[in-house]
Copies of this chain bind each other. A is one copy, B any other.
């Protein structure tokens, strides 16, 4: 931003000698961005800009409170920075994320027929900047909302790491009501955004007969229905498509049709009230996730010295090279819990079949069964946050706590 002008100032400038006048937006990469009367932005030489008029008063958002229907169930919306609602200021072209219940209801009017809402902002970050400590805050905030009477909780979240966060919260929180993570793959400032459908379907799921942590996102490229995924079994499988989120090792636990908002849960879905509200919010942050590749130097593993836990995404049934096994053994001998998962993502780890696997087992590696590497990482953080005895750590890591492990591989690829 320029020192001289503020966004909204009217400036005159020269564009290759052609005089122009417009609203000053910002300075970026050595150019001044000016919005012309036609609405177009252009970049001009900042040196040619002169002030015509200081920014006028910005039209103040009318405190138009959206009516909420008190007969509907109370749902909490906790925002972490994923934009389920945004506002465009056409005067300057700026897009801002919106977080209050009013803002969200204004952006997705359909929500008001599903529930009444209390909204809170926990964080306003890009989801790649999530950390274990924010996960803890999130678990606490959800816990508080349920304790205070929410019949369901919506967590709006950037899609990049939504699956990590949802699985982390799964371990920390026993919930009798639905806790539904939702985001959008196409930004909320576009008419085609998936935010409306995802938001409404997620709210419907949050009001449904569900009692676990879930992720609700588009199931197909159509605006036809959302899938409800178990938090510990879902993974983002496409950089940009609406239907990026996919369950692994099991079918989604439900679907929500759009626009009817009919919720269909499978027999696998944990039902409302099956669990008593409880918070176990300790996490061990000194845990890592390592993706093995052929030729990996054993030294890379040394970067995790001092860690209490390491999840390896090995090849195939759960392997690393013979050369790396020594380094793995060193980490274990130094007290770390090392859990093997597979970079195949689908299927079960089995280190009994091949030599390197057997060597890993004898080094003390814990087989991660059919856990997703990401769900294994957040689980390891949680287990090590609550338990230090290696045998009990092993037992917890190989037990099914929140659906992250299935004893039987009964689902297709």
Contact = CB atoms under 8 A, between A and B. Distances in A.
A254 interface: no
Interface stretch (A101-109, A193-201, A233-241): A233-241
The secondary structure that dominates the A interface is loop
Contacts of A302: 303
A243 interface: yes
B320 A130 contact: no
Contacts of A343: 236
Nearest to A300: B303
Interface stretch (A52-60, A156-164, A206-214, A264-272): A156-164
So how many copies of this chain end up in the complex?
Answer: 2
Interface in A260-315: 285, 288-297, 299-300, 302-304, 313-315
Interface residues of A, number: 64
Nearest to A341: B239
A356 interface: yes
Contact of A344 (B237, B295, B297): B237
Interface stretch (A41-49, A68-76, A345-353): A345-353
A386 interface: no
A126 interface: yes
B128 A239 contact: no
A288 B316 contact: no
Nearest to A164: B294
Nearest to A319: B128
Contact of A289 (B291, B321, B344, B346): B291
A388 interface: no
Contacts of A292: 128
Contact of A347 (B244, B303, B348, B349): B244
B288 A296 contact: yes
B238 A413 contact: yes
A112 B76 CA distance: 68
A65 interface: no
Given A129-B322, A131-B294, A240-B350, 16 more contacts: A127-B315, A127-B316, A129-B294, A132-B294, A159-B316, A160-B317, A236-B343, A237-B346, A239-B342, A239-B348, A240-B347, A244-B346, A244-B347, A285-B295, A288-B296, A300-B304
28 contacts: A126-B354, A126-B356, A127-B294, A127-B315, A129-B294, A129-B356, A130-B294, A131-B295, A160-B315, A161-B294, A164-B293, A236-B315, A236-B343, A237-B413, A238-B346, A238-B413, A239-B316, A239-B317, A239-B342, A239-B344, A239-B348, A240-B347, A240-B348, A243-B413, A290-B291, A291-B373, A299-B303, A300-B303
